[in-house]
Structure 1
């Protein structure tokens, strides 16, 4: 590709701003009067007029000096800050450019144009080498556990040069041998240094983190007493009858919070509080499973084959847009977490509400068996009517 070079100068002048602080008035208060106390002072004596005159003169000179400093600072010649950047323009066909200080124009052109900033002169050879290959689209592919593959559809010839974020780079160093990392080819960005990577397919493999009921590293036994003391206090405050929210989001957070108490109790070997937590979770979750909550609830939407809330079906802004399928992983995630813990400490309850729980989990499983529709494979909704 043919290349053109241009340099732009950006000038900026520092501006000093002064903000005058607001003056606060005298605070009013009720006078304290004590019989005989003021009389002993021999009467109130006012401030002499000469003091008023002196205060006026002093204040005038202070304000005059203040505004004089402002005008002096504004009138000073500031040294401009000049930033020079070099840009490279690559064109697939010959192109004639005309430019002035603010615009670049050309004759009619049909082809591919690529423009890049040149951070350092030594990078020009690298940019020239990979200028003929460019991406037109990309995909994120999840086919292997704990792996994310970026694939780009490219055009032109040669290898594709892209820039990797620091996190990408960390995962690429040890996993993907199909790419070449140009460690010295760097661009600065607000997210950190972006490093050049040659290749049209990146495989990012993250470390496997086990999903467990309790903390991975455990809790030190010497901390048990402090945790138990706080746990007892929090569990004693659980009372489903005082819950006023009807939002699926905030209601779900309360459920997940109580479920966490149960797991903490197991980890610090203090099962005495679990019965109270179990009852609280039942009182909170069952109305949503049975469809008896009244003010809100989960509904099955046969049009889109998913779950919405009662409030969300009537108002697109209710429940943070749950009715238009926004943030389902938050709302239902809290409920599913609480349900999982309750089923762990009460297996009979889990078996009873298994169908409803599978409906809630279905939102995260978009795969529908061949020959069937989502409406056919979705179980009955949460004890409430199907919305039409």
Structure 2
């Protein structure tokens, strides 16, 4: 019972019939809430999924997210979480909304709007260069020094009561509309990430706009006002024929000539020409936002389309204005205007249109490193782990995260065991993974729902939670991609050698539910939202489920997000699911480029001079933090954005100079030596160093090796460091027409590696003309010597619509910016 028109997983826009069709089947009991077809509903507490099961009730060792959701009745589960606006679902009004370039907050008085155009350094516990021992406590405190935004203006409806909640009425892929209503009076506000416009629709009256602080009106012409508030410039656009009253005071009002719509725009400058240009687009209201994507294997690139659905309130609706983040502006061929805004992510140039496209290079991943080096005592290191009494350890904690870290250690070890011809060890490692997965993938014992070590579906929000989880992953819906990425990656390793286990009728069905929970690519799915963690316009994920802190959403470990999407690539490729694989490539590629732009700032363009570091440990809606949630030690701050190290981590070494600079910053902030006294992540740190200086890493391993991370082993550290010492560092200047590949370079010699997950031989073509034949289910390598090669700078040409290519997207020449985002060089 399948209709291809109802199952778009390639990123295309689903029609409403898909959602209605599924809901009808659910209501009739034909299928279950997990999407499995059900012959009987005799046991409502247990949902069979292939050979496994999940619970449909809350287990004993689980917490639940809020039972009250602030949305209109027409909206229903699954609800989006982990995005810049989802605080609206969690509370009657909202926390600060960091829209970029605007910031806003729904208050009792209305929608407060401002333009945070200056960086504030050292004034808040969230970041701004100040490392404190009580960071986690301070950011969670209700009296944290970063509180509500300081608004420029507040828009309200004169007849909507102050105590009514804001309810989400609609949302797109990066836009949201909320509604506040009292009787016949209502105010809908639409906010769109990147947009300088806020759109309002009313019933039962007009709007009031209250200005905060000193205000000047520099343009007044019937329905259009140009105003400046605190040095920020706005256009107020009522319907033609309407008028603004009270222009000489602190509050202006309009009855909107009975039309019931108005827009407010942040202007890049106070001039009649700019105001007029914005006026021409002010009545093209954004009603939906949609992202679509394509993996172009031949060019090893991800092509992404961002589309605005527009409704003409007056005149034409052929284009709007939107500000692009740096990762978009550098990767689009569409023409950008000379206008721009500053933001916590850097300068945001303005684009005029209804759709724009970006192209980001994808440079492959590997399931493991090849057998390319003679690693001393490697077999002994493998045997040392094999001889452990218990391979699934709980000394750092249990739950979905720590169990996943166990999986990471073992899935890295199994291929290494095969390379040293220790099949028994490889089998024991995989059996430990298999046994633990199957324990969690079965929700009942003797017919009753287990108390712990299972997954359960919460139909209030539309999410799959584990029991137990930790880190607020169940009660706040935090970190699902961090946790489940390890699980999906472990399942992919089993699928690599045991495809029967990974079939949907076996345990692959439960794995697919984990995938759908944190990275569902089908916006028509009735059970899980589109891309729970990933924010399509921001280009990266958010770990915070609700964004219920003044600085907004945050993400600490960019590398664990990248790991989660690499897991999708592996799972999709190894199970033959191209839709999931391609979605994984889209997510992985964007997350990688966002990490390089905003966590590592390797182009030296996005962080201002006032920021006292060259990288960030955490990215917030408001800005950055050189910190972690658990301590302020430099070893942790850097390692949490490296780990886990594996065949998806090569992006960390694409720009060798930037990787070396990040290492130097780590040392500078960690007492200036390489002893790493904390000791939690010593092996991870040196594995990172091997991506830019493998000879140094090998010297450390041979003289001062020290174990560290819970998910690491001496065998993996040795194998990683010695392999890179043999083949060189990642070379991102070469691409291939297959998803599982990488290229390394040592001097003028390149080493090419590819893995073939198919059942037939594959001929891989590399962009420099190298060819490599790979047998089914095998990894192959080849080398090629050149007379000379260009410098190792990890450079990708900037995509541009003009003849001037500008500074490079990775190495850049844009220089630092001051507090207001103005170039200083």
Structure 2 unaligned blocks of 5 or more: 1-221, 296-302, 518-825
- The correspondence for 1:7, drawn from 228, 234, 250, is 228
The answer for the alignment partner of 1:355 in structure 2 is 506
TM alignment of 1:84-233, pairs within 5 A: 85-94=232-241, 97=244, 103-106=250-253, 108-110=255-257, 111-119=261-269, 121=271, 124=274, 127-128=277-278, 130-142=280-292, 144-145=294-295, 147-155=304-312, 156-157=316-317, 159-173=319-333, 180-215=334-369, 221=372, 224-225=375-376
- Is 2:394 the partner of 1:240? no
**Equivalent pair of 1:154/1:200 in contact (CA under 8 Å):** no
- The structure showing larger relative contact order (alpha-carbon pairs under 8 Å, at least 6 residues apart) is 2
Change (3 A) 1:184 1:237: farther
Matches of 1:328 and 1:354 in 2, distance apart? 24
TM-score (norm 1): 0.53
- The size of the alignment, in residue pairs, is 278
Matches of 2:437 and 2:278 in 1, distance apart? 63
Change (3 A) 1:186 1:337: same
Could you report, residue by residue, the CA deviation over 1:111-147 in whole angstroms, capped at 9, with x for unpaired residues? Answer: 5343333436496277256344433322224364453
- Is 2:298 the partner of 1:298? no
CA drift of 1:361 comes to: 1.5
The answer for the alignment partner of 1:176 in structure 2 is none
- 3-state SS, counterpart of residue 331 of structure 2: helix
Could you report, residue by residue, the CA deviation over 1:26-61 in whole angstroms, capped at 9, with x for unpaired residues? Answer: xxxxxxxxxxxxxxxxxxxxxxxxxxxxxxxxxxxx
Structure whose alpha-carbon radius of gyration is higher: 1
CA drift of 1:198 comes to: 1.6
Could you report, residue by residue, the CA deviation over 1:234-258 in whole angstroms, capped at 9, with x for unpaired residues? Answer: 6665723753654233213312331
CA drift of 1:279 comes to: 4.3
- Is 2:429 the partner of 1:277? yes
**Equivalent pair of 2:289/2:308 in contact (CA under 8 Å):** yes
The answer for the alignment partner of 1:250 in structure 2 is 402
Change (3 A) 1:345 1:168: same
CA drift of 1:355 comes to: 0.9
- 3-state SS, counterpart of residue 239 of structure 1: coil
Could you report, residue by residue, the CA deviation over 1:338-388 in whole angstroms, capped at 9, with x for unpaired residues? Answer: 23323434568x37996123233145459xxxxxxxxxxxxxxxxxxxxxx
Could you report, residue by residue, the CA deviation over 1:44-88 in whole angstroms, capped at 9, with x for unpaired residues? Answer: xxxxxxxxxxxxxxxxxxxxxxxxxxxxxxxxxxxxxxxxx4443
**Equivalent pair of 1:332/1:360 in contact (CA under 8 Å):** no
- 3-state SS, counterpart of residue 213 of structure 1: coil
CA drift of 1:259 comes to: 0.8
Higher helix share: 1
Matches of 1:295 and 1:106 in 2, distance apart? 58
- 3-state SS, counterpart of residue 112 of structure 1: strand
The answer for the alignment partner of 1:339 in structure 2 is 491
- 3-state SS, counterpart of residue 339 of structure 2: strand
Change (3 A) 1:204 1:226: farther
Change (3 A) 1:297 1:151: same
TM-score (norm 2): 0.28
Matches of 1:308 and 1:104 in 2, distance apart? 47
CA drift of 1:292 comes to: 8.1
**Equivalent pair of 2:440/2:455 in contact (CA under 8 Å):** no
- 3-state SS, counterpart of residue 171 of structure 1: coil
Change (3 A) 1:342 1:160: closer
Change (3 A) 1:164 1:277: same
CA drift of 1:100 comes to: 8.0
Change (3 A) 1:134 1:238: farther
Matches of 2:337 and 2:452 in 1, distance apart? 55
Matches of 1:96 and 1:347 in 2, distance apart? 68
Matches of 1:3 and 1:354 in 2, distance apart? 62
Change (3 A) 1:361 1:87: closer
Structure 1 unaligned blocks of 5 or more: 11-84, 174-179, 367-388
Could you report, residue by residue, the CA deviation over 1:191-235 in whole angstroms, capped at 9, with x for unpaired residues? Answer: 2111121211233444345454235xxx79568449878766666
Matches of 2:377 and 2:354 in 1, distance apart? 54
Matches of 1:113 and 1:352 in 2, distance apart? 52
**Equivalent pair of 1:133/1:158 in contact (CA under 8 Å):** no
Matches of 1:95 and 1:225 in 2, distance apart? 81
